[in-house]
């Protein structure tokens, strides 16, 4: 009887320990694994890690509104094509650092599906997470309902696709800046194809005009900042794009001859008053620099309203004959005349 009680007690204890062991195992082994998955993975991610590019239809229309899916295994980031930052049309961006935290070396695919009348159009590309910014270039969408397809880049998962895409580069003449109606040379000569030949350079000047060629010349008719795109195509049909900007300023007409007035003679160490004034045809604000002819520091005034008389003072410490010169500057360019009204002679007596 005593043995049976001990056996029963032992069995109950075993059962009790077994129950506790199961709970203990679930709490320590299972739950912490889930916690590690959620909180440790982001620590090795490339966050922030934007993936971005441009999307156009095969007829050159921007693919605004098209659906973008960026996928790695079963993880997908979604967005739509449209304005991104200062880019007005045809662009998209996702951040693979949030929420997935894809580390460097992660392969991903991009599939873009058109919208509206382009709903049967699509295009795709692929890439690898490297660094903080991943530009996959321009993805061209074609009408797949007619059997069309377009791979913009080599798919790292497709061993049958051996073409390496070209690299577009329009940096040779950067920064691009000019005046209205003044020609600019856009240079794509730094573009190259690692395993073939570039057969087409296509420039989009962001004002409704395009041109083709490795190096092209173009002039804008309206001032502003334009986002210029160079697309290059290799002999296998692969495409890459380079984005740059150009600043176009209005043509500037310099100020007129500054008129400088003051005493014609004086004594050393005496302070003398001079006045200077100029007019600007563009009604820009004007400032002046006065060279006193004695190798002392020139006087530089603040910008004042157009055609405003400005007072400047100076004293000479050595007797002599000095040529005082005045220069006028508007907001765009220094300007000095070689003749008339910008200088005067001042004789300083001992």
Residues 188/191/196/198 CA torsion (nearest 10 deg): -20
The CB-side HSE value for 162 (13 A sphere, CA atoms) comes to 3
Band of pLDDT at residue 124, cut at 50, 70 and 90: confident
Q: Give the pLDDT score at 199.
A: 94
Q: Give the pLDDT score at 108.
A: 80
What CATH number has the domain spanning 176-249?
A: 2.60.40.10
E strand residue ranges, 114-156: 121-128, 134-143
- Does the pLDDT of residue 274 top 80, yes or no? yes
**Mean pLDDT of the 317-329 span:** 90
Whether 50-146 shares its CATH topology with 259-349 is answered yes
Distance from C-alpha of 324 to C-alpha of 295, rounded to nearest angstrom:
11
Q: Give the pLDDT score at 129.
A: 77
Write out the H or E segment, with its range, that includes residue 252.
none
Annotated domain spans of the chain: 50-146, 176-249, 259-349
Residue pLDDT, tens place only, 197-252: 999 999 999 999 999 999 999 999 999 999 999 999 998 888 999 999 999 987 77
**Mean pLDDT of the 86-101 span:** 76
The mean predicted confidence, pLDDT, of the chain is 77
The CB-side HSE value for 148 (13 A sphere, CA atoms) comes to 14
Band of pLDDT at residue 123, cut at 50, 70 and 90: confident
The CATH H-level superfamily of 50-146 is Carboxypeptidase-like, regulatory domain (2.60.40.1120)
User: What's the topology of domain 259-349?
Assistant: Immunoglobulin-like (2.60.40)
Distance from C-alpha of 165 to C-alpha of 155, rounded to nearest angstrom:
11
Residue pLDDT, tens place only, 35-77: 333 233 333 333 467 888 888 887 778 889 999 998 877 788 8
Q: Give the pLDDT score at 163.
A: 78
């Amino acid at each position: 009887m005593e043995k049976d009680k001990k056996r029963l007690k032992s069995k109950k204890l075993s059962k009790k320990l077994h129950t506790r062991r199961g709970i203990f195992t679930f709490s320590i082994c299972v739950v912490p694994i889930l916690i590690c998955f959620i909180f440790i993975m982001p620590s090795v991610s490339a966050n922030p890690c934007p993936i971005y590019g441009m999307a156009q239809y095969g007829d050159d229309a921007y693919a605004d509104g098209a659906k973008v899916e960026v996928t790695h295994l079963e993880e997908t980031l979604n967005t739509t094509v449209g304005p991104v930052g200062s880019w007005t049309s045809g662009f998209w961006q996702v951040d693979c650092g949030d929420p997935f935290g894809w580390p460097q070396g992660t392969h991903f695919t991009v599939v873009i599906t058109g919208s509206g009348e382009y709903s049967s159009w699509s295009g795709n590309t692929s890439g690898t997470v490297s660094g903080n910014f991943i530009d996959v270039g321009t993805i061209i969408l074609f009408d797949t309902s007619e059997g069309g397809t377009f791979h913009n880049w080599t798919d790292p998962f497709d061993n049958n696709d051996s073409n390496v895409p070209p690299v577009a580069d329009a940096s040779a003449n950067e920064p691009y800046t000019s005046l209205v109606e003044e020609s600019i040379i856009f240079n794509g000569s730094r573009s190259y194809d690692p395993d073939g030949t570039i057969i087409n350079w296509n420039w989009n000047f962001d004002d409704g005009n395009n041109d083709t060629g490795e190096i092209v010349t173009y002039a804008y008719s309206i001032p502003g900042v334009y986002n210029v795109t160079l697309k290059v195509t290799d002999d296998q049909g692969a495409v890459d794009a380079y984005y740059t900007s150009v600043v176009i300023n209005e043509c500037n007409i310099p100020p007129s001859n500054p008129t400088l007035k003051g005493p014609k003679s004086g004594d050393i160490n005496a302070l003398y008053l001079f006045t200077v004034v100029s007019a600007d045809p563009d009604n820009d604000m004007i400032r002046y620099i006065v060279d006193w002819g004695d190798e002392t520091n020139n006087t530089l005034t603040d910008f004042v309203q157009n055609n405003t008389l400005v007072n400047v003072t100076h004293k000479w410490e050595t007797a002599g004959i000095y040529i005082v010169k005045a220069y006028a500057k508007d907001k765009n360019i220094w300007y000095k005349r070689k003749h008339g009204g910008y200088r005067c002679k001042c004789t300083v007596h001992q």
